[in-house]
C-alpha cells in the first residue's frame, strides 16, 4: 500500500468515528480498538487494518493501552512498532515513533530513545519522555509507572481488570 492509499484509508476510517460516542469508556469502539492493538502486538496476526490501527492511536486510552502492552524484551513488539513507522505517512507516525522511543528507553539505550523522541518534538508523550530521559530516570522506573497506568487504562476501556492481559 502506498502512503497516499494509507492516508486515504486512515481518513475514511476517521470519518466513521464519533469521538463523543466512540471514545467513551466501555464503548464498543474502545473495546474493539484495544483488542485490535493486542492482536496486532501479540498474536502475530496479519489480519489487521494498519490505517485503522493508526487512527485508533489518536485516542489516548488506546495509545496508552498499546504502551502498557509493550515489552522491550519481546522482539516482535519492536518489529510491529517499526512496521507502523515504515508504512504510515510521517505526519501520522508520531505515536508509533514515540512508542519506539519507549522501547529503546526501557532497554537502556537512552541516546537512541532521545533520537526517536526528537522526531516527534511536539507530540505530548514524546515531550514527556524527553523530560524523563534528560532527568536520568532508570528504565525500570518508567516500566513500573507504565504498568500501574495500564491497570487504570484497562479498567477505563473494558470496565474491569481484564485478566488475560499479559505484558
Residue 143, phi-psi category: left (phi > 0), alpha (psi -120 to 50), beta (remainder): alpha
Contacts of 99 (CB under 8 A, 6+ apart): 66, 67, 70, 81
| pLDDT of amino acid 25 | 85
Domain ranges of the chain: 3-158
| pLDDT of amino acid 165 | 47
Q: How many residues does the chain have?
A: 167
| pLDDT of amino acid 47 | 56
d(CA 68, CA 62): 10
Angle between helices 124-134 and 110-118 (to 10 degrees): 150
Residue 44, phi-psi category: left (phi > 0), alpha (psi -120 to 50), beta (remainder): left
Q: What is the mean pLDDT of the chain?
A: 90
Location of C-alpha cell 490501527: 53
d(CA 135, CA 113): 13
DSSP state of 73: T
pLDDT more than 70, % of the chain: 92
| pLDDT of amino acid 166 | 46
| pLDDT of amino acid 81 | 96
C-beta of residue 73 within 8 angstroms of C-beta of residue 104: no
Q: What is the pTM assigned to this prediction?
A: 0.89
Residue 167 above 80 pLDDT? no
Contacts of 74 (CB under 8 A, 6+ apart): none
Alpha helices in 17-49 (DSSP H): 19-22, 28-42
pLDDT tens track for 100-126: 999 999 999 999 999 999 999 999 999
Cell of 63: 495509545
C-beta of residue 159 within 8 angstroms of C-beta of residue 26: yes
- Residue with the larger pLDDT of the pair 142 and 74: 74
Average pLDDT (132-159) is 91
pLDDT tens track for 24-78: 888 999 999 999 999 999 886 665 689 999 999 999 999 999 999 999 999 999 9
Amino acid at each position: 500500500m502506498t502512503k497516499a492509499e494509507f492516508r486515504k484509508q486512515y481518513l475514511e476510517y476517521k470519518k466513521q468515528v464519533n469521538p463523543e460516542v466512540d471514545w467513551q469508556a466501555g464503548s464498543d469502539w474502545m473495546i474493539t480498538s484495544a483488542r485490535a492493538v493486542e492482536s496486532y502486538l501479540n498474536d502475530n496476526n496479519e489480519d489487521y487494518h494498519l490505517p485503522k490501527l493508526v487512527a485508533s492511536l489518536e485516542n489516548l486510552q488506546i495509545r496508552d493501552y498499546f504502551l502498557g502492552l509493550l515489552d522491550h524484551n519481546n522482539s516482535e513488539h519492536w518489529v510491529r512498532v517499526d512496521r507502523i513507522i515504515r508504512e504510515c505517512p510521517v505526519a501520522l507516525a508520531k505515536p508509533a515513533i514515540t512508542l519506539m522511543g519507549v522501547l529503546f528507553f526501557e532497554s537502556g539505550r537512552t541516546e537512541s530513545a532521545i533520537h526517536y523522541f526528537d522526531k516527534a518534538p511536539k507530540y505530548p508523550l514524546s515531550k514527556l519522555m524527553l523530560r524523563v530521559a534528560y532527568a536520568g530516570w532508570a528504565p525500570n522506573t518508567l516500566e513500573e509507572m507504565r504498568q500501574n497506568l495500564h491497570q487504570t487504562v484497562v479498567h477505563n476501556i473494558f470496565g474491569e481488570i481484564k485478566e488475560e492481559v499479559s505484558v
